[in-house]
A = this chain, B = another copy of it.
């Protein structure tokens, strides 16, 4: 049996069974993108890790080193943001072919520094190892959060509504343009979707505002695709959910690229992946206040995209009046 047969999440399930029960100070462990450690005094510690692999997450000939460095920071910050936390210290673990240009690695660090400053964290160290061929840039990020502001994945309750920041599908549109360079897209649209893919913005301030409002019952970032990540949130909370596909926020740019390439923008929004928006649930009487605070503090729109339902209903997508009951599978890194 190969990893491609069980998929990423099947693999993680199996591996977590091999580990001993967690220590007492580990509030959240294997299976979440962020480990949460209870600290004896003050703030909880948040630990996360995310790698960018050449040929999988980036193409060296289509993306600059600086962009890859910026994205490495942003995708890790997005995980800390999803817990309402503040990123603090980054370790960068490089696996480099010896013949790589020093200037390329310096460009990578220029990008890392740029986004590190943007999000208020420092680069504390890391490691350099050599690779015979493939380039991997891996990072580990430590952050923290006040215990009363921590939002976990597991608190969604039937009756809550499901909200998200920003919009979906831009990164998927950007990926299509990166590969299919012949497509004639308006320049401003091309720039929007390319930037969403290669230099995503972590919704850090938004996550902190959502957490500080104390209205959200569960939160995570949308990295694998909305449907897949709503599936994770639903399982962690032991609930079902209904997603209203016709309400999904999709940018004009993504719609334009979809139209020109004959793709379905709603499909991108549901399972394109790499959106790095925040998905959260909140009771109806709190959601509007949370959304307003986010808009006021950051300018980022918040959209209602669904509702939390009892677990036996599963995750259902409602589109143009029809209901689709789906096993939540978005971007699973291994399945064929």
Which positions in A face B, CB cutoff 8 Å? 1-6, 8, 11-12, 14-15, 18-20, 22-23, 26, 28-35, 37, 40-42, 45, 47-53, 55-57, 89, 91, 93, 95-103, 105-106, 109-110, 113, 117, 122-134, 136, 138, 140, 142, 333-334, 336
Q: Which of B3, B30, B102, B126 contacts A2 (CB 8 A)?
A: B102
B122 touches A51 (CB 8 A): no
Bound CA–CA A331/B209 (angstroms): 48
A127 touches B23 (CB 8 A): no
Chain B residue with Cβ nearest A55: B132
A102 touches B18 (CB 8 A): no
Bound CA–CA A106/B18 (angstroms): 7
On chain B, the residues within 8 Å of A3 by CB distance are: 96-102, 105
Q: Would you list 18 pairs from A and B whose C-beta atoms are within 8 A, ordered by A residue?
A: A1-B101, A2-B98, A2-B102, A4-B99, A11-B102, A14-B106, A18-B113, A33-B127, A45-B142, A47-B89, A47-B140, A49-B125, A49-B126, A49-B127, A50-B127, A55-B132, A136-B138, A138-B138
Bound CA–CA A284/B89 (angstroms): 38
B134 touches A19 (CB 8 A): no
Q: Which of B18, B130, B134 contacts A131 (CB 8 A)?
A: B134
A99 touches B2 (CB 8 A): yes
Bound CA–CA A195/B195 (angstroms): 49
Shortest beta-carbon contacts, A-B, top 3: A140-B140, A35-B124, A4-B98
Bound CA–CA A142/B6 (angstroms): 30
Bound CA–CA A93/B49 (angstroms): 7
A103 touches B1 (CB 8 A): yes
Bound CA–CA A95/B49 (angstroms): 12
Q: Which of B31, B35, B125, B138 contacts A34 (CB 8 A)?
A: B125
Bound CA–CA A12/B22 (angstroms): 36
A154 CB to nearest chain B CB (Å): 15
Bound CA–CA A140/B141 (angstroms): 9
On chain B, the residues within 8 Å of A99 by CB distance are: 2-4
Bound CA–CA A48/B97 (angstroms): 22
A17 CB to nearest chain B CB (Å): 9
Given A37-B124, A113-B19, A123-B30, also A47-B96 (CB < 8 A):
no
A321 CB to nearest chain B CB (Å): 37
A167 CB to nearest chain B CB (Å): 25
Chain B residue with Cβ nearest A129: B51
Which residue, of A8, A28, A98, has the highest number of chain B Cβ atoms within 10 A? Answer: A98
Which residue, of A29, A53, A122, has the highest number of chain B Cβ atoms within 10 A? Answer: A122
On chain B, the residues within 8 Å of A14 by CB distance are: 102, 105-106
Bound CA–CA A103/B15 (angstroms): 10
On chain B, the residues within 8 Å of A56 by CB distance are: 129-132
A89 touches B26 (CB 8 A): yes
Bound CA–CA A47/B121 (angstroms): 15
